[in-house]
Amino acid sequence: MSSNGSMARVRIALDAMGGDFGPPATVPGALAALEANPELDISLVGDADAVTAELSKHPAAMQEQAITVVPSEGKIEDDEHPISALRRKPRSSIATAMGLLKAGEADMAVSVGSTGATMVTAAMTLGLLEGLERPCIGGNFLGLAPNTTVVDLGSNVDCRPSLLLSFAALGVVFSRLRLGIENPRVALLSVGEESAKGNRQVQESHALLRDSHLNFVGNVEGMDFFTDKADVIVCDGFIGNILIKFAEGLGSALAPYLSRQLAEFLPEDQLRQIAGALWTNMNLPRTMGGPLFGVDGLVMIGHGSSTAEGIAGAINTGLMCRRVELVEGFRQELSELHTAGVGTRAEV
C-alpha cells in the first residue's frame, strides 16, 4: 500500500470514517471505485486500526499500491456544531482529508459524513472562491428531472438576494459543464409566475437576477421541476433541503405502496427490480453524490446513508467534475458576475 505519483493519476482523499457506516462502507466503496478507475490513488483517511481492519477483509487490497491509509483522530458527528467540533477535533478524518487537498497532496476530497461539517471544514481549510460569502450545494437531485439543476440544496437559510444570485451563477456552471446545457435558463422558485408573487426574498432576488447577465426566465412553481421551463432553479437552502428530503421520503413511501399495488401482477423479483429503480430514481444523491459549490478545491459530498455503491458513485461523479474543470468554471463565472457590476458581497 503506497501511493503511485505518476502525473496521469488522480489522487482522492476519502474521509473513511464518514457516513452512517464508516469503514465497512467507505473501504469497499474505495475499492470498487479503484476497480472501475485504475488511474486512482486513494488515501483512506481515518482511524488506522478501523480502516486496516476493514482492508484486511479484502486481501487483494492489502497489496494494492493505489491505496494508502492516512491516520486521523476522531470524527465529527451529525449532531455536533460544525465550527466548534472542527476546533475541538483538528485532526478529525474530515479535517485531515481536507488538509491533503489544501496541501496539494490530493486532487479531490470525498466525504459522506456530516454535510455541515464537510461544508464548514472545506470553507475554512480551502477558502471560498472570490466574490462568494458561503458555499452551497447544487445539482440534479431528481431522477424524473435529470436535467434540472437546483441550488441551494445545502441548507443556507435566510439567504440574501445577492447570495442567491451567486448561487444561480454556480448552478449555471454546473448545468453547462456537468449536464452539457449550452445556455442554461435560470428561474427562481416561487408560488406564481408573476414577478409580484412570492415572498420578499424572491421579489428582491427577481430584480437582481433580471438585471444580471444570466439567462433569467422568471419565476417557476413547484411543478416546474418536471416541466422543462428552466434548467437551473434557484431557491433558499431552507426550501431546497426540505424538497430534497421530501422527495426522499416520498420515494421511500412509494416503493412499498407500489409493491402492494403490483403484488398480484408481478413475480417478486421483477417487483423488487421496479421498486428498486423507482427508489434510486427518487434518491439520486444517494448513489452519485454531488460537488460542493464555491470552495477553492474539488470536494464531493455523498448522502450519509451511502453504502459502498454510494461512495464509488460519489468518487465517479467527482472524476467527471474534475474532467470538466468545474471549480475553474465556478471561479470564472463568479468573476464575470463580479465584473458585470453586481457586487456579490453587496447588501441589497
Give the bridge partners for 11, in sequence order: 41
> 238 or 324: whose CB is closer to a second copy?
238
What torsion do the CA atoms of 115, 87, 321, 288 make, to the nearest 10 degrees? -30
Question: Which one-letter DSSP state was computed for residue 224?
Answer: G
Residue that the C-alpha cell 452539457 belongs to: 180
Would you count residue 266 as binding a second copy (CB under 8 A)? yes
> 2 or 270: whose CB is closer to a second copy?
270
- Judged by CB under 8 A, the chain residues 206 through 235 that form the site for a second copy are 221-227
Binding part of the chain for a second copy, among 51-59, 106-114, 252-260, 328-336 by CB under 8 A, reads: 252-260
Would you count residue 67 as binding a second copy (CB under 8 A)? no
In whole angstroms, what is the distance from residue 116 CA to residue 84 CA?
12
Shortest distance (Å) from residue 94 CB to a second copy? 18
Would you count residue 65 as binding a second copy (CB under 8 A)? no
Of the candidates 42, 50, 209, 278, which one interacts with a second copy according to CB under 8 A? 278
Shortest distance (Å) from residue 198 CB to a second copy? 7
Would you count residue 277 as binding a second copy (CB under 8 A)? yes
- The closest of 24, 17, 8 to 70, measured between CA atoms, is 17
* Contact yes or no for 297/101 (Cβ under 8 A): yes
Would you count residue 83 as binding a second copy (CB under 8 A)? no
The CA-based diameter of the chain, rounded to the nearest angstrom, is 64
At residue 71, what are phi and psi to the nearest 5 degrees? Answer: -70, 145
Three-state secondary structure readout of 97-133: HHHHHHCCCCCEEEECCCHHHHHHHHHHHHCECCCCC
Residue ranges of the alpha helices (H) in the chain? 23-36, 48-55, 59-62, 82-88, 93-102, 115-126, 161-173, 200-210, 237-262, 268-282, 284-288, 308-323, 326-339
Would you count residue 263 as binding a second copy (CB under 8 A)? no
Binding part of the chain for a second copy, among 19-27, 160-168, 191-199, 296-304 by CB under 8 A, reads: 191-199
Would you count residue 245 as binding a second copy (CB under 8 A)? yes
Number of residues this chain uses to bind a second copy (CB under 8 A):
51
Of the candidates 246, 320, 323, 340, which one interacts with a second copy according to CB under 8 A? 246
Would you count residue 254 as binding a second copy (CB under 8 A)? yes
- The closest of 298, 294, 300 to 102, measured between CA atoms, is 298
- Judged by CB under 8 A, the chain residues 280 through 299 that form the site for a second copy are 281
Containing H/E element for 189?
strand 186-189
Would you count residue 260 as binding a second copy (CB under 8 A)? no
> 257 or 340: whose CB is closer to a second copy?
257
In whole angstroms, what is the distance from residue 187 CA to residue 212 CA?
12
CA dihedral sign of residues 55, 61, 65, 66: negative
Of the candidates 23, 28, 99, 237, which one interacts with a second copy according to CB under 8 A? 237
Would you count residue 241 as binding a second copy (CB under 8 A)? yes
Would you count residue 56 as binding a second copy (CB under 8 A)? no
Binding site for a second copy (CB under 8 A): 79, 142, 144-145, 155, 157-158, 189-192, 194, 198-200, 202, 221-227, 236-239, 241-250, 252-254, 257-258, 261-262, 265-266, 270, 274, 277-278, 281
